[in-house]
Structure 1
Amino acid sequence: MKTNAIVVSDSAEPDFERVIAQGLDEFNEQVAGLSDRRPLNIIVRDADSNEVLGGAVGRTSLGLAFLDRFHLPSQMRGSGLGTKILEAFEDEARQRGCSSAVLYTISFQAPGFYEKNGWTSFGEIRSEREGISRVFMSKKL
């Protein structure tokens, strides 16, 4: 019997990611009768240069929105722009039929920001590094 290779990699491989996504989509459709996974990105661009400055990266699937990454340069924080990006993410998720959203942040990043915007913590995993933990949050949309 042939033994398949298992490879550990630290590089992004679009073909690999496509195979995994396609396999999951097919399985979800077979079991749930639906395969609706879509990227959901909120992009902030410079008005003059069109350069990407920050924003949110996420996805929606089976009625749930996942906020995977969110970043704004330090000079843009505290201006209300972050809340507008988060609201745009949530609004689009609702338009897609999502009733809840989930994310995780790190204790030194932005749990307070998300709490201020109606998100609640449902778990925390402490790191071996003192004072650092992953904070898991959700919000009913």
Structure 2
Amino acid sequence: MTYRIETAPDEARSDQVVSGLVAFNQRESELIRRRFEEPHLRPVPLVAYALTAGGELLGGGAARAVPLWQWVEIDELWVQDAARGQGIGAALLASLEAQARALGCRWSKLNTWDFQAPGFYKRQGYVTYATEEDYPPGHVNHLMRKTLG
């Protein structure tokens, strides 16, 4: 067999590569096949907001659950600087986890940089399963997960 490598972008070829990979994955795994069928096609969005009595936003979080795979991915969690250290972040995270459990999720995952909150997530029961050094340059990205039980 002879072949050549091309590096110019080609949308039709890219679509063929994706189609070939998806077909292979679906052939090899029943769960992957089911993941790309309705009603499992789109993750279930989850949100939690912390508000003052007057309705001011103190913080919030967002996640995406894939109940078929029993996983939730925490995408965002933020608390205003002045409101930190009062348990709001822990309450927001617990709310997202509870919503995921109600959907049948058994595990949670997230990533956080060294300057964000790896210590906070560790206190909430998350463990680092991998790190990406120098991502972005000068920082460490912590990939973390938790068994929701």
Shorter chain as normaliser: what TM range?
0.7 to 0.9
Q: Normalized against structure 2, the TM-score is what?
A: 0.69
1:135 to 115, 120, 142: 142
Tell me the CA shift for residue 82 of structure 1: 1.1
Structure showing greater radius of gyration is: 2
> Is residue 71 from structure 1 mapped to residue 78 from structure 2 by the alignment?
yes
Tell me the CA shift for residue 80 of structure 1: 1.1
2:116 to 90, 95, 109: 109
Tell me the CA shift for residue 108 of structure 1: 1.0
> Is residue 56 from structure 1 mapped to residue 58 from structure 2 by the alignment?
no
Structure-2 residue corresponding to 1:42: 48
Query: Runs of 4 or more off by more than 4 Å in structure 1?
Result: 27-30
Tell me the CA shift for residue 29 of structure 1: 9.0
CA separation in 2, counterparts of 1:40 and 1:135?
A: 22
CA separation in 2, counterparts of 1:135 and 1:47?
A: 35
SS of structure 1 residue aligned to 2:65? strand
> Is residue 91 from structure 1 mapped to residue 93 from structure 2 by the alignment?
no
Tell me the CA shift for residue 4 of structure 1: 5.4
Q: State how many pairs are aligned.
A: 116
CA separation in 2, counterparts of 1:111 and 1:99?
A: 21
Tell me the CA shift for residue 93 of structure 1: 0.7
- The residue type equivalent to 1:55 in the other structure is G
CA separation in 2, counterparts of 1:86 and 1:134?
A: 19
Tell me the CA shift for residue 51 of structure 1: 3.6
SS of structure 2 residue aligned to 1:86? helix
Q: Percent identity?
A: 29
- The residue type equivalent to 2:147 in the other structure is K
- Where does the alignment leave 5 or more consecutive residues of structure 1 unmatched? 6-26
Q: Normalized against structure 1, the TM-score is what?
A: 0.73
CA separation in 2, counterparts of 1:30 and 1:87?
A: 28
